């Protein structure tokens, strides 16, 4: 595997349930390293860009309402094969189908209320990291 950096967004349900520390601990227990972290309130423009693949769907306003309900935490996470490994740790997008022991299986509720977003490919990670972190906000040490 190769060292990669991925984007994680802690969604409003994770913020409201105070789950971020527990989830970060799971990531760190896997040997992943935090390279950037910040809390931010998402606006319509960034949500429209991030969810452009579903912006024309009837459920898009529900996504915007949910994702702007509270601030989110953006995390730049680095590790060996981190993109696929994080997605395995999270479990399926639909928390109802996620097995116990996965993050979504333990803490999620459904397709949207599922604790975290994680980049699904190296290309997506690169684009998404630039979307949520400015130059100089992801650190290498």
Question: Which sequence positions are flagged as catalytic?
Answer: 117
Task: Determine phi and psi for 61, rounding to 5 degrees.
Answer: -60, -30
Are 131 and 46 in contact by the 8 Å Cβ rule? The answer is yes
C-alpha to C-alpha distance for 124 and 47, rounded to whole angstroms: 15
List the structure tokens of 16.
């409201």
3-class secondary structure, 27 = helix
Adjacent-strand bridge partners of 30:
none
Strand partners, 100: 102
């Amino acid at each position: 595997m190769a060292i990669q950096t991925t984007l994680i967004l802690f969604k409003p349900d994770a913020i409201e349930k105070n789950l971020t520390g527990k989830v970060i601990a799971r990531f760190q227990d896997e040997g992943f390293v935090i390279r950037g972290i910040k809390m931010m309130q998402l606006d319509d423009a960034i949500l429209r860009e991030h969810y452009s693949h579903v912006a024309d769907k009837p459920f898009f306003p529900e996504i915007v309402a949910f994702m702007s309900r509270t601030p989110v935490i953006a995390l730049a996470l680095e590790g060996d094969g981190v993109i696929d490994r994080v997605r395995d740790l999270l479990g399926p997008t639909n928390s109802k189908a996620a097995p116990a022991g996965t993050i979504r299986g333990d803490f999620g509720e459904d397709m949207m209320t599922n604790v975290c977003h994680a980049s699904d490919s190296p290309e997506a990670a690169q684009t998404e990291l630039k979307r949520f972190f400015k130059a100089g906000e992801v650190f290498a040490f």
